[in-house]
Structures are given as C-alpha cells and as structure tokens.
Amino acid sequence: MPPGPESQRHPAQLDPHRPHLPRRPLWVCRVCPDMDWPCPPARLLLAVEYRRNLAGLAVYLGQQLAVAMEDLGRLDTGSPPNGNALYERFITWIERKREVPVGRPRGVDQGRVDPEPPEL
C-alpha cells in the first residue's frame, strides 16, 4: 500500500504540542531539523506563552540570541556568525503591539467603555 498523505507531512505538523527546542550548538529545531530555531511552530508557541508579556519574550529571545552567537562562534566554519541575520531570526518577528491587560479593561463599568488613551 503506498504511503498516504499523513506519512508525507512534516513531523512538526503531526504533533504541534511537541516542544520545538533548539538543538545546540547548531541552533536548528529538534522537531523540525531542517529549520533554524526558532522555527515557525516555536514562534507560534512562544507568542502564545508570552502573549501578555512581550517584553519578557524579547528578553528571553535576546538571551537565546547571545547563547546562539557564542555557540555558533565556536563552530569551525571559517567565519564568525552573522549577527544581523541572527537578530532578524530571533528578534524581529516579535509583534510590536501593546501587551494585553491582565485584569478587566479600563473604564468598563455597567456597559460604559472609556476611550483608550493615545499611544505614546
């Protein structure tokens, strides 16, 4: 019996709940070995995990970026890692929106909603 479409799918699509963690020192995804980390599923899972703390997500990914620079710098590739490319890969995908408030929205009282203050 020929393999069905299920067997041709990428492993990341089969189980979206598997942790998409980096395989060091190469910084490829453990679940998606043909993709650099953070891979698209890792980005999605991180965005959900840090949805109310984008600053925390930026700090976490900044720390991972520093470790990746160190790891990749130790590899014998003949040239240092490209810091700009790593910055693009680790940081620039983070949404630049205000964080979602944890409590009740401001000004919500008996059906009345106060306008949002202007963004600074």
| pLDDT score of 110 | 47
Q: Does residue 109 form part of some domain? A: no
For the segment 29-82, what is each residue's pLDDT rounded down to a tens digit? 999 989 999 999 999 999 999 999 999 999 999 999 999 999 999 998 888 999
Q: Does residue 69 form part of some domain? A: yes
pLDDT surpasses 80 at 27: yes
DSSP letters, the chain, are: ----HHHHS-HHHH-TTS---EETTTTEESSSTTSBSSPHHHHHHHHHHTTT-HHHHHHHHHHHHHHHHHHHHHS-SSS---HHHHHHHHTTTS--SPPPPSSSPTT-BTTB-PPPPPP-
Q: Does residue 11 form part of some domain? A: no
pLDDT surpasses 70 at 19: yes
Q: Does residue 45 form part of some domain? A: yes
| Separation between Cα atoms, residue 35 and residue 65, nearest integer Å | 16
Average pLDDT over the chain reads: 79
Domain count, the chain: 1
Look up the domain containing 75 and give its range.
31-96
Q: Which of 48, 47, 51, 9 is nearest to 31 (CA)?
A: 9
pTM (two decimals): 0.68
| pLDDT score of 52 | 93
